[in-house]
Amino acid sequence: MEPILHFAPYTGWVYPNETMFDWTVLLAVYPYLTGLVAGAFTVSSLYQVFGFERLKPVAHLALLTSLCCMLFVPLPLLLHLGHPERAMNAMITPHFTSAMAMFGFFATFYVVLLMLEIWFAFRPYIVEQAQKRTDALGKVYKLLTLGSYDVSEKALAHDRKWVFWLAVTGIPGAHGLHGYVGFLFGSLKSREWWSSDLMPVIFLFSAIISGVSMLIVIYVVSCLVRRIPIDAACVKGMAYTVWAFIMVAFVLEALEFANIVYKGREGVEMIIHYVTGPLLVPYFILQFALGAILPMLWLSYMFWRGTGGKPLVVGATISACLVLFSVFMMRWNVVIGGQEISKTGKGLLTYQMPFLGQEGALVAIVLVVAPFIVLLGMIKLFPPWDDHGTRHAAPAAA
């Protein structure tokens, strides 16, 4: 089903070849998922590489979450393509000057890295289950041991070194993966709303805050479901991370908007009309006021007052939900908003997303929810909880 287009005649006019929305809501879901991948891996790296002990309860959960989200990252692109069966051609016959063609290589490298790190991190548990279980799942664990049953201190120290260096390698890998998405948008000179050198950096910082916020919500909900105490220090550590990065992201986006306003004074009046008119609610109110400024002020107030315990957990969780909403609105405003301004800057279009269809709202919702359904299965297979009693690999010294 094609998206419904509405013209805004009071804003000017558009050429006939400017009336098509080439990128739909699925292209907003795609950078949203990649952002969750990068942000979740950031939390794991803060523990595995930098030794943030308060993040230990979510370190392995972050790895599993990052992998589950990464498995679904290509799906929005494949559903958007007219011939998804041709997607592999970009890797078989690569064009190294194309940023889009390089995505397959970046994604493959990162998935392999995540799988290796998860294997080394959970190898003691895999061996334990392979030796203890005799059912069909026990055979799966035996297969996952890859023939390695050594869990001596020397072997575990070796595992910890592998986890450390894979995490070190994954830091530029994860952030480069999402910075690449911002690079794609920032390099498109045909769209005034996208063409900005700050776009890759903004995408990267917003990715970190979205992934960390997602882990706050998952961790708090999982503790409530399992009926165990919530580690307030862990939640506070993640809340501090969100608070620090959201301020940087806010400043960067404000600078980008100031640049747009300045260019508007040089003759791009249509953009100014757009941000003060149709984009007023989704951009200023939903993305900034509700999703960025409110959680930033709320977290600042709690840290200033020294809030702890249940009030801190509740405030951090609600703030995390607002941040997740804000980051999605940022993706929406970039992908859809950038196309609502005609390429010539002479008029505006309005995109109305269909609910059904290959690129409708229902498919977008399913793609966002699906990674967390897979995560439930991954948690059953590899329990990431610190209270499970298994000897997960701890961070190694550099």
Contact predicate 26/359, CB 8 Å: yes
Residue type, 310: K
Domain-embedded: residue 396: no
Q: 151-156: long-range contacts (C-beta < 8 A, 24 or more apart)?
A: 151/123, 151/124, 151/127, 151/391, 156/124, 156/391, 156/393
Domain count, the chain: 1
Asked if residue 77 is part of any domain, the answer here is yes
* Tens-digit pLDDT profile for residues 255-267: 877 777 676 555 4
Looking at residue 125, its pLDDT comes to 92
Res 374: pLDDT? 95
> How much is the pLDDT for 344?
66
pLDDT given at position 238: 93
DSSP 97-142: T-TTTTHHHHHHHHHHHHHHHHHHHHHHHHHHHHHH--SHHHHHHH
SS (HEC) of 312-340: HHHHHHHHHHHHHHHHHHHHHHHHHHHHH
Q: Do the domain assignments include residue 393?
A: no
Low-confidence ranges of the chain (pLDDT < 50): 1-10, 267, 389-393, 397-398
CB contact at 8 A, 326 and 292: yes
Can you give the pLDDT at residue 11? 56
Residue 260's nearest CA partner among 334, 182, 331, 200 is 334
Instruction: Please report the pLDDT score of residue 265 as a whole number.
Output: 53
- Non-local (6+) Cβ contacts of 396 within 8 A are 157, 160, 161, 163, 164
Write out pLDDT tens, residues 133-182: 888 888 999 999 888 888 889 889 999 999 999 989 888 877 777 777 77
Are the CB atoms for 203 and 182 separated by under 8 Å? yes
Is 21 domain-assigned? yes
* 10 in a structural domain: yes
Owning domain of residue 131? 4-388
Output the pTM of the full model.
0.86
Predicted local distance difference test score (pLDDT) of residue 389: 45
> Does some domain include residue 264?
yes
Residue with tokens 């503790």: 223
Examine residue 372 and state whether it is found in any structural domain, yes or no.
yes
Residue 45's nearest CA partner among 155, 141, 167, 152 is 167
* CATH number, position 83: 1.20.1630.10
Cα radius of gyration rounded to whole Å, the chain: 22
Spatial separation of the C-alpha atoms in residues 268 and 346, rounded to whole Å: 9
Q: Is residue 313 a part of any domain in this protein?
A: yes
* Contact predicate 1/354, CB 8 Å: yes
Element (H, E) at 153: helix 153-186
What lies within 8 Å, CB to CB, of 83 at 6+ separation is none
